[in-house]
Amino acid sequence: MRLVTVMLLGLTISMGSARAQDQGPNILFILVDNLGYGELGVYGGGELRGAPTPRIDQLASEGLRLTNFNVEPQCTPSRSALMTGRHAIRSGTTRVVWGMLYGMTQWEITLPELLSEQGYATGMFGKRHLGDTNGRFPTDQGFDEWYGIANTTDEAQYSSQFQFDAEVGLQSFIQESRRGEEPTTVKPYDLTGRREIDSELTQQTIDFMRRQNSTDTPFFAFVPLTQVHLPTIPHPDFAGISGNGDFADSVMEMDHHVGEMLDTLDELGISDNTVVIFASDNGPEEVAAYHGTSGYWRGHYFTALEGSLRAPFLIRWPGEIPAGQVSNEIVHVTDLLPTFAAITGYEVPDDRIIDGVDQTDLLLGNTEQSGREGFPVYNGDDLFAYKWRNWKVHFIELNSMFGSPMRLNVPHIYNLLKDPKEDFNIAPDSTWILPVVMSRVIDFQRTLVAEPPIELGTPDPYSPPR
């Protein structure tokens, strides 16, 4: 009898080991809001901005830091590109118009849906900004649970603004939901809620990771924090901590919350089996009192300047990604969906155009070369620029989100090595770039003919024209 028991125990251990080998790593993806390239210590900010970021800087030293990670120029397009692996121009998610249906159609296949099919528990804790109607909430499109806000943090200040009329004015709420259920209202998202929400999101994330770890279920914890989006005001516990004002206090608060989540991984003993990503969805704010910095680059979000497109990106996966690495190779936010496919084993959809490329070899240190050379930059539905290697060609130039776009008769060419702030049009000695870039622009635009973009406001159900 004892021999049988030992044999059964051995079989159980063997099966458990097989499951552990087949099971993909946990994923903790922290996406902060409008954090400029120049804010973190490891990107040249930190103490220079009056806000040290020791926990995030430490995370950078434990994995790979990208210095050429690129996003879309606005919040909704960037989040759509992350979720689908497709440029927002394809998905009808290039912008938000108040009073109009927006967000991803049910036809889109999302990152959490793909991970769910691989057995992952999927939780989202934070800002959505990809739809605020039934069918387009996070738990309608792949997440098992969600706690956060459907739209943008701007809305937290509405009820405190001059002559606000609650009868007609938009009122924002913090909501929560489970897969298959309609969201319920937790409390108003006002200035008090705005100060408290990132602490709540952190605790919700920690609870989610603990619960999944207790059931030995791999998890995807997506944490789109609300800092440092305007109004950039800290939790009361962090007010005055920097001595340098609300913005610096908020950056330090953000760093603290990242540290809390990382500490939880250590406490649970799962740091080595968890991919941690820290990234920003956009360049910095430009609004007075809440403005951030793009550091070495120029520009804020809503433009096609490097300060809008280049965002912080850190990734740690102990034993897989060598520590202390830095790469200036071009990576785009659309690349994350096919890259996670290689890491977790799901199949990338082949019934639609996917713009992302698998960057696993670059991230793991197997190659020093990116899988892409460039990408188009759409701002709204217009092609503003094309970035290729160390060059940027602008077709529509916009230097401020408050400015007027200038459609150029002759495109402006900038070399980002010689002219990182895109101040000097160097076309006279670089016209060879134009036919190279234009051929890539035409190739991309042909794909928009082959697969016509979904229009903003398209309702569900949606099926692509054949």
What confidence tens digit (pLDDT) does each residue in 413-429 have? Answer: 999 999 999 999 887 78
- Closest C-alpha to 392, from 332, 434, 359: 434
Spatial separation of the C-alpha atoms in residues 376 and 433, rounded to whole Å: 15
pTM: 0.95
Sign, CA dihedral 148-66-371-301, equals: positive
Q: How far, rounded to the nearest angstrom, does the alpha carbon of residue 17 sit from its chain's CA centroid?
A: 33
Q: Given 87, 129, 229, 332, which residue is catalytic? A: 129
User: What's the mean per-residue pLDDT of the chain?
Assistant: 94
3-state secondary structure of 27: strand
Domain ranges of the chain: 25-161+172-373, 375-450
Tens-digit pLDDT profile for residues 199-221: 999 999 999 999 999 999 999 99
> What DSSP assignment string belongs to 267-330?
HHT-GGGEEEEEEESS----STTT----TTS---TTSSSHHHHB--EEEE-TTTS-TTEEE-S-
Assigned CATH for 375-450: 3.30.1120.10
pLDDT score recorded for residue 425: 87
Q: What's 25-161+172-373's CATH class?
A: alpha beta
Tens-digit pLDDT profile for residues 166-204: 999 999 999 999 999 999 999 999 999 999 999 999 999
pLDDT score recorded for residue 401: 87
Query: Would you place residue 22 in the very low, low, confident or very high pLDDT band (cuts 50, 70, 90)?
Result: low
pLDDT score recorded for residue 21: 44
Instruction: Read off the pLDDT of each residue in 127-153 and give the average, rounded to a whole number.
Output: 97
Task: Give the residue, 18 or 309, on which the prediction is more confident.
Answer: 309
pLDDT score recorded for residue 1: 41
Q: Given 75, 256, 300, 332, which residue is catalytic? A: 75
- Closest C-alpha to 453, from 91, 170, 166: 91
Spatial separation of the C-alpha atoms in residues 352 and 87, rounded to whole Å: 12
291 annotated active-site: no
75 annotated active-site: yes
Spatial separation of the C-alpha atoms in residues 307 and 282, rounded to whole Å: 9
Tens-digit pLDDT profile for residues 78-89: 999 999 999 999
Instruction: Read off the pLDDT of each residue in 234-253 and give the average, rounded to a whole number.
Output: 98
